[in-house]
Amino acid sequence: MALPASAVRAFEPPPQPEREAPARTTCPRRHSRVEAELAASRPGSVAASVGAGPPRGVSDEFNSRPLLEKPRKASSSLAGAACAPLFALLSRRRRRRMHVLRRRWDLGSLCRALLTRGLAALGHSLKHVLCSIFSKIFGPLASVGNMDEKSNKLLLALVMLFLFAVIVLQYVCPGTECQLLRLQAFSSPVPDPYRSEDESSARFVPRYNFTRSDLLRKVDFDIKGDDLIVFLHIQKTGGTTFGRHLVRNIQLEQPCECRVGQKKCTCHRPGKRETWLFSRFSTGWSCGLHADWTELTSCVPSVVDGKRDSRLRPSRWRIFQNLDAASKDKLGSPNTNAGANSPSSTKARNTSKSGKNFHYITILRDPVSRYLSEWRHVQRGATWKASLHVCDGRPPTSEELPSCYTGDDWSGCPLKEFMDCPYNLANNRQVRMLSDLTLVGCYNLSVMPEKQRNKVLLESAKSNLKRMAFFGLTEFQRKTQYLFEKTFNMNFISPFTQYNTTRASSVEINEEIQKRIEGLNFLDMELYSYAKDLFLQRYQFMRQKDHQEARRKRQEQRRFLKGRLLQTHFLSQGQGQSQNQNQNQSQNANPNANQNLTQNLTQNLVQNLTQSSSQKENRKSAKQNAGKEQNDSTSSGTNDYIGSVEKWR
């Protein structure tokens, strides 16, 4: 039964005023959503009727018309209109949150679109700017064709020109040391690794005058022959680190064999079972623990002559036997203690009966730092009781060399007690280990007065140090490496490391204690000052010699390049003359053409021969002059250096 029209109107919603359509936004999705909401809010629209449903109190089948049925494939606007009433059913807080999320999403998409369009516009404008710049610079080249094609062709031409220049340079100057290939203008200057390692000035004022033979240390070390390096290891001078460098960090034809877990390495000569190094890490303590100059010069020749195998491990009685025999030979000789330190005696000590040459080396350290380091080492329990201290074939007696402590060791001793012991061997240790103790009666202090004894020991230590093949300083690791490489012509694999923080540097002492340590080691202080002066003068002398050698090589390279250029110029000129003569021969048909051609050819041949002979003579004279210049440069460099030393003084 159908209801009357008035009842149907009563159930219908009241009419609402039509809203004006909002202005169209830039975002298409937001515009479609707003249109869908407005369409759903209109009373007579299809979406409103679909969203509203049947009136209250009426069944679902009531007034079901085909127009109100939900289509199978609804558009996006209809779907948004259908979801609008559901959105209205949410709470105000949830709706506000969803609105904020929608706005953020819209802003993100808008920013991404603006960013992409801005980058595209920037690239387009940049392209136009570059094209205009290329057109202004390369206007004549850009007159034909498209700009992209012209730029590609220009780049290809530049690349081909660069490759051609590289090929020409490699042909003219094939060596790697060519000065033309060193682009110093585009490279940052390389810092000098040897400059001011101890944070002091590179140029110093020398205090001592040394001759050229004292400064120039060049040992013709023959590792395949009979030469032997003997390392005198003084306690707490960094000798352990330097000894490891000698067996593990040096470039050799046959490197030392070092096994894991063993301190000693096998350092054989190439093709022989003989050692070339006499040190702690190669032969062990063959002449006693930390043998000094007196022990080594007496023991090493006897050990090497008695046992030529690389395993130089004589027993304790064998060491005493060798030292006793050496002392008897020395006492039986006409040259006694007065001339034991003369050049003839040192030369005799540096050679053995088998003809082996011994090259002694050592490392020195600042006396105060070395003294504190030894004190810390003694605190940890070190005693060096195994040291023999053999002199004149016998060790010192307990009266000659009393002990500073009672017990097994001197561990935990304070610094004051360490300094108060008058028989402490740490006092002036470097002078005692580098001097010839036979000159002062070994360890017998009653042979001569103390002042005279100290003077003889100091002069003997200076003389032995100056005549050594090499010595280094712990405070100058890189300079020590440089001088060793230049002296023995042997290179290390990795550079030395300068350690500025040590156990001795961690000890804080006041000025009074430092002055007392310097007073206890006054001989070492004088020796170290002498050694540092000689060391730095040797370094500067060798560096100047290297600079002179590099300058001579550059001059030779310039002469060589100039000769190559002249040779190519003469060849090209001769080829051009021959081509001109051929053209003249083809153009001129007179009977005297052949005669003129032969005359011209003979003249050219004679000129070429004379030019080649003159070039050969110039090369010979250049070589002779280069040799003379080298000798003159070395002599002049030496004179300049010694003259500069005198000026500094």
What would you measure as the largest C-alpha separation in the chain, in angstroms? 157
Q: Nearest to residue 369, comparing CAs of 476, 233, 505, 242?
A: 505
Helix H or strand E encompassing 157: helix 147-172
What is the 3-state secondary structure of 26-46? CCHHHHHHHHHHHHHHCCCCH
Question: Exactly one of 290, 359, 377, 569 is catalytic; which is it?
Answer: 290
DSSP 480: H
Its sign, for the CA torsion 440, 444, 447, 452, is: positive
Contact 252, 223 (CB under 8 A): yes
Tokens of 606: 């004679």
d(CA 378, CA 407): 13
d(CA 59, CA 404): 120
d(CA 312, CA 88): 102
Contact 354, 256 (CB under 8 A): no
Q: Could you give phi then psi for residue 561, rounded to 5 degrees?
A: -65, -40
Q: Could you give phi then psi for residue 231, rounded to 5 degrees?
A: -100, 115
Angle (nearest 5°) at CA 11 between 5 and 15:
95
Angle (nearest 5°) at CA 191 between 187 and 194:
150
C-alpha Rg value of the chain to the nearest Å: 48
Contact 267, 253 (CB under 8 A): no
DSSP 229: E
Helix H or strand E encompassing 278: strand 277-278
Length of the chain: 649
Its sign, for the CA torsion 319, 324, 329, 334, is: positive
Strand stretches in 467-537, DSSP E: 470-473
Tokens of 623: 């070589």
Angle (nearest 5°) at CA 284 between 281 and 288:
135
Reduced to 3 states (helix: H, G, I; strand: E, B; else coil), residue 118 is helix
Active site residue 99: no
d(CA 469, CA 217): 7
d(CA 166, CA 183): 13
Active site residues: 290
